[in-house]
Amino acid sequence: MFTGIVTNMGEVRSVKPRAGNLHRITIFCGYSRAEIVQGASIACSGVCLTVVDAGEEDGRVWFAVDAAEETLSVTTVGGWRHGSKINLERPLKYGDELGGHLVAGHVDGVATVVAREDMSEAARIALRAPAELARFIAPKGSVALDGISFTVNAVEGDTFSVLVIPHTLRVTTFGALRKGDDVNLEVDTMARYAARLAEMK
């Protein structure tokens, strides 16, 4: 479980196909080597992946994960290449501050940036959600985009917008986000349960 508060920005070191339609992805990070253990979960741009190896190279810490066919097909992971920047978050521990909202790291689909309005320091970004997920997105509700917790500002049909504060623009991949880019979308779990309960009435 995660909170959608990014703690590091990583960089893809390599992507190598493996047997069984797996891709072994190695990622440089700013965490200490002691923080990265085999079997640990790390949210990689919102996708919960399991560490299968870790080490250091030229003073830089790296960890490796395996992405399966389902992950490659329904998230942006299939498009990661050497040098790709990704948002990282280590899992929530009991007693940690819940600064964002509860994020499972189970990406529901991909949203596409349709507009970006840069203001004095912040940015307003509009995205189009897949039709089957749009009904779970509501004004003042929560979404996770590339692993970042956001409050939804406005919704019109399958399009919604979020306001990105200066800090988030500086320390995450959203600083470089442009029209046409895809991001991983996880809708709020509470919204899913509310919709399910409504269907059962």
Q: What are the pLDDT digits (tens) for 122-154?
A: 999 999 999 999 999 999 999 999 999 999 999
Across the range 88-101, mean pLDDT stands at 82
Kind and range of the H or E element at 15?
strand 8-18
**Which pLDDT belongs to residue 93?**
78
Query: Class for domain 8-89, per CATH?
Result: mainly beta
* pLDDT tens-digit readout, 4-32: 999 999 999 999 999 888 999 999 999 99
Question: In the predicted model, is pLDDT for residue 176 greater than 70?
Answer: yes
Residue keyed to tokens 């501050």: 97
* pLDDT tens-digit readout, 51-94: 999 999 989 999 999 999 999 999 999 999 999 999 999 998 77
| CA distance linking residue 69 with residue 64, whole number of Å | 17
Q: How many CB atoms are closer than 10 A to CB 50?
A: 13
**Which pLDDT belongs to residue 99?**
78
Please report which residue ranges of 18-151 form alpha helices under DSSP H. 69-74, 131-134
Q: How confident is the model at residue 100 (pLDDT cuts 50, 70, 90)?
A: confident
> What is the token pair recorded at 111?
């949203």
Among residues 2, 1, 3, 6, the alpha carbon closest in space to that of 171 is found at: 6
Which residue ranges does the chain devote to CATH 2.40.30.20?
8-89, 109-200
Report pTM.
0.93
- The DSSP 8-state label assigned to residue 179 in this structure reads T
What are the distances in angstroms from CA 59 to CA 32, 62, 136?
Answer: 10, 10, 44
The third-level CATH classification (topology) of the domain covering 109-200 is Elongation Factor Tu (Ef-tu); domain 3 (2.40.30)
Residue keyed to tokens 């709020």: 188
CA atoms within 13 A on the CB side of 64: 15
For 160, phi then psi, to 5°, come to -140, 165
